[in-house]
Structure 1
C-alpha cells in the first residue's frame, strides 16, 4: 500500500504545483522558495538539530512555548522549524527571527524527504498536532531519528478521512516513538487509527501555556481610550469565506440598538484581507484598516485587522469575541486567546478541531454557542447589554485557561528523557 501511496503522490505532484500557482495569484509568497518543497535548499551546515514541524499559524502559535523551552534548555542545539504555508512562515519569522532555521516541509516524496533529512540532520523530530506523512515517518525510522507527535489531536472527521488508508496510517504511526495527546479523546482516536497504546500519553494542550505578550493589555487599554472607553466593542476573529457576511449582518443588528458600536474583524488568511475590506465598504460601513489607520477612530463602525499575529491586543480591548471557522464547517479556531484575557467567547456550531476546549469553556460558563448565523447578532447584543454576565463569563473563561496549563512542562520532560536515551 505504501508503494501505491508513493505512486499516487508522484501522480498528484503536478496538481500540487498548479495549486501553488493558483494560490500565488492571491498571495504572492506562495510563488517563493519552491525548491524547498522538493527538499532542495542550501544545507545549513549543522548536525544534531532539534526539528519542529508546525503546519501553519495555529500550530506555530501552539508550539511557541515549547520552542522557547527548547531554546532555553538546549541552547547549543540548532533548532529547525518547518511549515507548509507562507502565513506560518511569516509567524515563525515574527516570533523567532534568525534564531531558528526555517525551511518548508517537502512533499512526501521519497527523494524530497531524503534530501530534506540529509540537509538538516535532526537528532529529534517533533511533529505538532496532526501530520501523518508515511514516507517521512518511514525515513525517520530508517535513519534512527526519534519521532514524537506533540500536542497530538485527531478529530472525528480526520479519523474518518484516514479510513481508506488506515493500514498505511497504522504502519506510519508504528514509526513514532511517542504520541503526546491533547486529551483522552484524542488518545483514543489515535489508538483506533492503529497507534501502539503503550506509546500514547495524555499531556494536555500546549495552547494553554501560550504567553500573553508583554504590554498587550496596556496596548488594548490605550486603544479603548482612543476610540472611546464606553463604546461597545465586539470582535470576529479568524473568519473564513462565508462568515464575514454573517458577521456584518450581525453588526447591522447591533448598530440598530447600539449606534456607536464597533466591530473588529480579523480574516484568517492574508490573501482575503482586501476582499473583506472591499465587502465592508460596499455594504456602506465606515471602515478603517490596521495597515492604513493603525487603530480605529470614534467614527469608524468596522475595523479590519489586516495583519498577522496581532490579535492579542485587540482581544484585550474587546468585550465579546466571536471565534471564526465555526459558522462554516472548518472546525473552529483557538478560543484560548480571548479566554486568557477574560473575554467572553462566542462560537458557531462547527468546533470539531477544538471540541474538548470549547466544550469545557461552554460547560464552565466562559463561552456560548450560537446555533447558526441568524443567531449571532441577537446573542452578541445580549452580551453587550449584560455587563454582569460578561464579567462572569470572562472570569470563568480565564479560570479554565489557568486550570489547564502545564502541558509544555510535561512534554519537555518526555523530550528530555528521549534525548537522554
Structure 2
C-alpha cells in the first residue's frame, strides 16, 4: 500500500494557504481569547501557534488529532490497546477545545500527552512538526486541515484517516472540487471508515480504493461511562424492587412523548418508575413542569431528593451521572431521536448491558441503528403509543428482553474484534524503530 502522494497541488489549495496566512492574526486572537477565558496558562495558549509546552519523548511517537470531546475520548481505548501491543510507543493527542483537554487529562492512557493543535498556517504547523516529529499521524473522523495534512506528509509522516465520517453536505462540497479533494485524500496512506456509505463517498471523492478499509466505530469500543457506586446503591435502595426504565438524553419536545408513554405503561405496571435524564440538565425546571402537567409525581435529583415508593418519575437533571443510570437499569430509551436531532451514541448504554429503544430521527447513527434493529438489539418507535408498547413488551417478557440485551452485547464484542484489526493496520504503518 503506497503512502506517497501522487495527486498534484491545486490552485484552490494554494489560495487556501494564502488566505490562511492573511487571516492568521484574526484566527489567533479568536482561539487565544477562548483559551484564556477558560483560564489556561499562556504557555498552553501558545500551543495554537505550534509552540510546544512539553518535550518530545524519545522513540517512536504516534500522533492522534481529534476535533473535540467525543472524538478525543473515542481514541483513548485504541491508544491503550496500541500501547499494550507496542510498549515502546509514545503518544500525542491534539484537540482544540479546553473541555476535551480536561477530560483527556483525567483518562490519559500511559505514555500519552495532550497539546492543542497548531492553527492551520504554514508557520504554526511547521513549528509543531519540527518539535514533535511524529512517526505516524492519525486524524479522527472528519477533521481535515489541509496544511496540517500536506506538511506532515511532506515531512515524511504517514497519515491515517480513522473512524472516517463525512456528512452529505461535506461530501457534496468536496465533489464540486474533485482535483483538490483527490489531492487532500491522497495524503492518507490509509482511510478507515465507520461504514460502507463513507467508504463509497471517499472513493467517489477520489480516494484510492486500495487505501480504504472498513473498520469499527471507535465509540463502540470506548471505555464504559463511569459509575458512581455510592449513588447507584443509594438510588437502588430507594427504588427497591419496583420496575424501572430510563429515558436519557431527551431534548425539548421529546419529554411530552416519553411522559405520555409512561402513563400508558403505568396502566400495566402501576409501580413503574421512569428515570428521566434530559440531555441538558439546565432544563430541569421546564421538564419538572411538564411532569406535573402530565399529572405524575416527581422527585428531582438536582435538589438532593431520592425517589420514594410512590415516585412515578425520577428527574435526573444532573451532569455526568448517566453511566450510573445505565448501570441501574438496562431498559433504555435514548433521546435526540423522536425529532430530527440526529440521535445519540447507542454504544454507551449497550456497553453497560442495555438494550435500546430509539425514535427515527437518528440520522447521525443511521447505519448503526439499521444493523442494531436487524439484530434485535434495538427497537425503533415513532410515537408515544409505540414507545409504550415496546417498553411494556420488554418489561413483561423477560426472555425477549434478555435476547435483545444479548444481541447488543454480541454486537459490542464484534466491534472490539475489529479494533484489534485496526491496531494491526496502524502499527504496520510505523517506520522502523528510532534509535
**Bucket of the pairwise TM-score, normalised by the shorter protein:** 0.7 to 0.9
Match of 2:258 among 222, 235, 250: 250
| Alpha-carbon distance in 1 for matches of 2:376, 2:277 | 24
Specify whether residues 408 and 392 from structure 1 end up closer, same or farther in structure 2 by C-alpha distance, changes over 3 A only.
closer
Match of 2:53 among 38, 42, 65: 42
Structure 1 residues 343-358: aligned runs within 5 Å = 343-358=354-369
Residue 75 (structure 2) pairs with residue 67 (structure 1): no
CA deviation profile, 1:291-324 (whole Å, cap 9, x unmatched)? x74x8433562012312xx533321212432334
Specify whether residues 23 and 359 from structure 1 end up closer, same or farther in structure 2 by C-alpha distance, changes over 3 A only.
farther
Match of 1:139 among 147, 151, 155: 151
Match of 1:206 among 198, 218, 231: 218
Check the 8 A contact 2:357/2:380 in 1, yes or no: yes
Q: CA deviation at 1:194?
A: 1.4
CA deviation profile, 1:40-78 (whole Å, cap 9, x unmatched)? 342424354211122223223321221102222333333
Q: CA deviation at 1:118?
A: 2.5
| Alpha-carbon distance in 2 for matches of 1:406, 1:71 | 17
2:425 corresponding residue in structure 1: 414
Specify whether residues 123 and 175 from structure 1 end up closer, same or farther in structure 2 by C-alpha distance, changes over 3 A only.
same
Q: CA deviation at 1:138?
A: 0.4
| Alpha-carbon distance in 2 for matches of 1:37, 1:387 | 55
| Alpha-carbon distance in 2 for matches of 1:161, 1:376 | 38
| Alpha-carbon distance in 2 for matches of 1:380, 1:301 | 20
Check the 8 A contact 1:339/1:401 in 2, yes or no: yes
Residue 300 (structure 2) pairs with residue 287 (structure 1): yes
Greater radius of gyration (CA): 2
Specify whether residues 98 and 212 from structure 1 end up closer, same or farther in structure 2 by C-alpha distance, changes over 3 A only.
closer
Specify whether residues 85 and 277 from structure 1 end up closer, same or farther in structure 2 by C-alpha distance, changes over 3 A only.
farther
* 1:151 counterpart SS class: strand
| Alpha-carbon distance in 1 for matches of 2:28, 2:332 | 36
1:313 corresponding residue in structure 2: 324
Check the 8 A contact 1:319/1:390 in 2, yes or no: no
| Alpha-carbon distance in 1 for matches of 2:129, 2:211 | 24
* 2:301 counterpart SS class: strand
1:390 corresponding residue in structure 2: 401
Residue 372 (structure 2) pairs with residue 364 (structure 1): no
Moved more, 85-94 or 13-22: 13-22
Specify whether residues 214 and 20 from structure 1 end up closer, same or farther in structure 2 by C-alpha distance, changes over 3 A only.
closer
Q: CA deviation at 1:371?
A: 3.3
CA deviation profile, 1:17-52 (whole Å, cap 9, x unmatched)? 658868999xx4799954333333424243542111
Match of 2:190 among 178, 181, 186: 178
Structure 1 residues 198-277: aligned runs within 5 Å = 198-212=210-224, 223-237=235-249, 239=250, 243-247=251-255, 250-251=258-259, 253-255=261-263, 257=266, 261-267=273-279, 272-273=280-281, 275-277=282-284
| Alpha-carbon distance in 1 for matches of 2:125, 2:366 | 33
Q: CA deviation at 1:395?
A: 2.6
Task: Give the TM-score of the pair, scaled to structure 2.
Answer: 0.79
Residue 353 (structure 2) pairs with residue 342 (structure 1): yes
Specify whether residues 221 and 358 from structure 1 end up closer, same or farther in structure 2 by C-alpha distance, changes over 3 A only.
farther
Specify whether residues 192 and 40 from structure 1 end up closer, same or farther in structure 2 by C-alpha distance, changes over 3 A only.
same
Residue 148 (structure 2) pairs with residue 129 (structure 1): no
Check the 8 A contact 1:155/1:352 in 2, yes or no: no
| Alpha-carbon distance in 2 for matches of 1:105, 1:22 | 14
Specify whether residues 226 and 57 from structure 1 end up closer, same or farther in structure 2 by C-alpha distance, changes over 3 A only.
farther
* 1:44 counterpart SS class: coil
Q: Which runs of 5+ in 1 are unaligned?
A: none
| Alpha-carbon distance in 2 for matches of 1:247, 1:77 | 47
Check the 8 A contact 1:345/1:366 in 2, yes or no: yes
1:297 corresponding residue in structure 2: 307
Residue 124 (structure 2) pairs with residue 112 (structure 1): yes
Specify whether residues 196 and 76 from structure 1 end up closer, same or farther in structure 2 by C-alpha distance, changes over 3 A only.
same
Q: How many residues get paired?
A: 404
Q: Which runs of 4+ in 1 moved over 6 A?
A: 19-25, 29-32, 213-219
Match of 1:90 among 94, 102, 112: 102
Specify whether residues 173 and 279 from structure 1 end up closer, same or farther in structure 2 by C-alpha distance, changes over 3 A only.
same
| Alpha-carbon distance in 2 for matches of 1:86, 1:376 | 41
* 1:42 counterpart SS class: coil
CA deviation profile, 1:336-389 (whole Å, cap 9, x unmatched)? 1222333221223333332222111011122122336x6686456545654434
Task: Give the TM-score of the pair, scaled to structure 1.
Answer: 0.81
Structure 1 residues 27-38: aligned runs within 5 Å = 28=38, 33-38=44-49
